Amino acid sequence: MEAVRPHRVVIIGAGFAGIGMAIRLKQAGEDNFLIIERADKVGGTWRDNSYPGCACDIPSHLYSFSFVPKADWSRRYPTQSEIEEYLDSCVERYDLRVHLSLGVGLKTARFDEAVRVWRLVTDTGPVLAARIMVLAMGALHRPAIPSFSGLAEFRGNAFHSARWDHAIDLQGKEVAIIGTGASAIQFTPRVADCASRVVLFQRTPPWVLPKHDASYGAGQVWALRHVPLLRRALRAWHYISHELRAPAFIRFPALAAGAERRARSHAKRQVDNVSLREQLTPADRIGCKRVLLSNDYFPCLNRSNVQLVTSQIASITPHGVRTTDGVEHRANVLIFATGFHATEPFGEIEVFGRGGISLADAWHDGMRARLGLAVAEFPNLFILGGPNTGLGHNSVVFMLEAQIGHVLRCLRLMRRRNTLAIEVRAEVQAAFNTKLDRWMQRTVWLTGCRSWYLDRNGRNATLWPGFSFGYRLRTLWVSARHYRLSVSAGKLRRLRRIA
Ligand code: NAP
């Protein structure tokens, strides 16, 4: 392979994780880094998910970088477009454009042991080299479309919620929506506003709580802009009030009984028809799947042009969806709100570590890393938003910041020791995962529901089974007990001379 001068860091993906990593590198005085991004815009999941009504269910002042505060969020819960603008503004403010290669997707990454660099092959041709590779692609970026029979014969338009086809005018159309997760409950009311008919296919109902959303008034924005302490206090308040929910998710699911009662009375207030309400009431514990927040989902199901179908889908026909009771539900647009391949996030991308081992092989029975960040046999590789770093109760940006801080600490350690490679010790990773799986047994996520949190073996490979501050504390410490630091720069030069 041709010799390419390595970047100190190459970041894959320009969403929250990649942009945050880049800002922190810059702030730490590191300029030799590159971000490659497969799309032609930054924003990650907040670029991909442009469906009508897309918004976040974590408050704006918490769902943003602590090191890039924004005083003028327009509302308590940010909309997709406002988050996308925020991420764009981060790129401008930290002059990241010069580090960005847009429209470049990673195909293969291979660790070259002789020189301790990653060699990256991209889909646009150029081969890149990186001392450190940071995979910052997140977990929710590969749309999952179930393989229904007959799908290829469907005569109308079909698309996934994360690939919304804005060219299709839904006005007056018959629309079938498959799935009732976080995405579907946000866009179904908007679709119902314009479509002549909406048929919503529900496999299992989600728990839905009210969303206490409101816009910020001019006075509030003024105060948040001019009194930084107030902004910090608001962020801390949001953080603490969300973190207080952790025990119900991670240790004592029975604590959530009050939330279940609130969700039931929310449905009672908003759904007139008793049998419809029963169909919308989950049998599993609240929190086992993602808890959803919405004020307009239930009311839209009362509309005469919206039908909830709970019979299972048998096949897709040329003109709609057939359910197992034999009914064909006609539709000229089919929208899949069926989620993502969260436990197989890297898809076609091939990553080869030491001795040519592939990440797919290392993870053949499920994703495992230490702190979600580092994988044994894959030196100089860090994953942001990796295995078991998602949260069911708080802001994932908090977790990403902890991970970014850990990567910077590793880079500092490498510099201090003048080494070219850092690799998590296999026994440390194994012990970490044994403990993690033990904690996981007590969580609500293993109380019997089906969710994207679980991999094909039923193991929760996506969420952190503890307090988020507990995770952060663990990321603060980087030491040779956890990582093997191999070959100093001087020694490698000497070895090369001998060879
Ligand atoms: P999701 O939560 O995985 O929901 C997928 C839906 O599709 C579920 O209702 C699922 O039913 C259904 N489904 C899947 N396969 C099916 C099949 N073969 N037949 C029938 N139904 C099927 O996906 P999502 O709504 O896109 O949300 C994914 C995640 O993205 C969320 O959990 C959340 O973390 C994130 N998100 C966040 C926000 C936010 O506000 N922050 C907004 C949108 C998305 P079952 O429930 O029966 O499996």
Q: What is the DSSP letter of 304?
A: T
- Tokens standing for residue 286: 């609240």
DSSP 470-485: HHHHHHT---TTTEEE
CB neighbourhood size of 31 (10 A): 10
pLDDT at 488 over 90: no
The average pLDDT across 347-373 equals 96
Dihedral angle of Cα 375, 380, 386, 387, to the nearest 10 degrees: 0
Task: Judge whether residue 154 has pLDDT over 80.
Answer: yes
Per residue in 219-240, pLDDT (tens digit) is: 999 999 999 999 999 999 999 9
pLDDT of residue 487: 73
Tell me, what's the pLDDT at 499? 46
At residue 125, the pLDDT reads: 78
In the structure encoding, which two tokens stand for residue 39, read together? 């799309």
pLDDT in the model for residue 1: 47
Is the confidence at residue 359, as pLDDT, over 50?
Answer: yes
Distance, in Å, from the CA atom of 78 to the CA atom of 53, rounded to the nearest integer, reads 11
406 touches 475 (CB < 8 A): yes
Q: Is 205 in the pocket of ligand 1 (CB under 6 A)?
A: no
| Six-digit token string for 393 | 């109760």
Residue 324 has pLDDT above 90, yes or no: yes
Report whether residue 56 contacts ligand 1, using a CB cutoff of 6 Å.
Answer: yes
Q: What average pLDDT does this structure show over 96-109? A: 97
Ligand 1 atom showing the smallest separation from residue 450 Cα: 48
Task: Tell whether ligand 1 has an atom less than 6 A from the beta carbon of residue 182.
Answer: yes
Instruction: Decide whether 7-142+341-492 matches 151-214+244-336 in CATH topology.
Output: yes
pLDDT of residue 4: 66
Average pLDDT value for residue range 170-193: 98
Query: Does any ligand 1 atom lie closer than 6 A to the CB of residue 225?
Result: no
Residue nearest to atom 12 of ligand 1 (CA): 179
**pLDDT band per the 50, 70, 90 thresholds, residue 126:** confident
Token reading at 97: 């454009």
Domain boundaries, the chain: 7-142+341-492, 151-214+244-336
CATH fold of 7-142+341-492 reads FAD/NAD(P)-binding domain (3.50.50)
- Mean pLDDT over 285-307 rounds to 97
SS3 410: helix
H/E stretch holding 86 reads helix 80-93
**3-class DSSP assignment, residue 332:** coil
pLDDT at site 489: 66
Q: What is the pTM of this model?
A: 0.96
pLDDT score of 5: 78
Q: Are the CB atoms for 111 and 486 separated by under 8 Å? A: no
463 lines ligand 1 (CB under 6 A): no
Look over the chain and give the mean of its residue pLDDT values, rounded to a whole number: 96
**Of 72-76, 270-274, 314-318, 487-491, which range is least confident?**
487-491
Element containing residue 316 per DSSP (H, E): strand 313-317
Protein fold of 151-214+244-336: FAD/NAD(P)-binding domain (3.50.50)
By the 8 A CB rule, do 122 and 106 touch?
Answer: yes
